[in-house]
Amino acid sequence: MIIMSKAEISDPRSLGERAGSAHHEAGHAVAHLVRKYPVLWIHIRVHDTYDTEVWGESATPPPILVKGFADSQRRHEMLQALVIGAYAGFEAERILDPSAPKIRGYHDFEAAQNYLDKYGHFHRGRMRPPKIYLRRCRAEARELVRRHWGAIQAVAKVLLEKGRLTGEEVGMIVNPLLRGGQGYANGR
């Protein structure tokens, strides 16, 4: 599943705007890994056609292709990881610069809702009301981003330097920073 962020800016090469995109994508990636969901890659770039836009993308595999999807409890955990991961990009950008325009956030809210529409929102065999589920996931995303802010900053720094990171590279950055060095390395 690919989530694309688009930010219209006056100078796409400004460090502040690229940093916002980098932290946004790093928020998605770190949240997915912390919640034990694989990341394929993340990247940021100035759009080739429009010199006034910075694009960021993060890609994760569809849940049906992830080991354990058939188990209902694991399916619930995967859905929660996807929804929390979708919100985490927006939350990371908010922490980086609370006064920044919220241009890149709308697609994250759409992605979270789309995950629920496609994969359901059951927990322990019961369906939860979507608004309550989404609100709780957003609160969890906010807390996860605060708790793992150092990892998000480390990933964003390398992403700014390289422009693109594989999920394995993100895992190599994140795992040593997680408590006790016991992290989740992209499915390993």
pLDDT tens track for 109-123: 888 888 888 776 655
Is the pLDDT at 1 greater than 60, yes or no?
Answer: no
For residue 35, the enclosing domain spans: 2-181
Assigned domain for 84 exists: yes
CATH number of the domain to which 141 belongs: 1.20.58.760
Contact 76, 122 (CB under 8 A): yes
Kindly report, residue by residue over 36-78, the tens digit of the pLDDT.
888 988 888 765 544 444 557 777 777 767 777 677 777 778 8
Confidence of residue 134 (pLDDT cuts 50, 70, 90): confident
Assigned domain for 51 exists: yes
pLDDT above 90 as % of the chain: 29
Assigned domain for 187 exists: no
Assigned domain for 186 exists: no
Q: Which amino acid is at 168?
A: E
Looking at residue 129, the DSSP 8-state letter turns out to be P
Give the whole-angstrom CA distance, residue 7 versus residue 85: 19
Assigned domain for 155 exists: yes
Give the whole-angstrom CA distance, residue 112 versus residue 97: 22
Of 120, 58, 123, 117, the closest CA to residue 85 belongs to 58
Give the whole-angstrom CA distance, residue 122 versus residue 120: 6
Mean pLDDT of the chain: 77
Kindly report, residue by residue over 140-168, the tens digit of the pLDDT.
999 999 999 999 999 999 999 998 999 99
Say what the pLDDT of residue 5 is: 47
151-to-29, 30, 142, 164 alpha-carbon distances in Å: 10, 7, 14, 16
Assigned domain for 151 exists: yes
Integer Rg of the chain from CA? 16
- Give how many domains the chain has, as a whole number: 1
Confidence of residue 127 (pLDDT cuts 50, 70, 90): low
Is the pLDDT at 184 greater than 50, yes or no?
Answer: no
Say what the pLDDT of residue 60 is: 78
* Tokens found for residue 75: 């399916």
Assigned domain for 188 exists: no
Assigned domain for 121 exists: yes
> Has this prediction a pTM greater than 0.75?
yes
- Average pLDDT, integer, range 79-103: 85
Helix, strand, coil distribution of the chain in percent, nearest 5 = 60, 15, 25
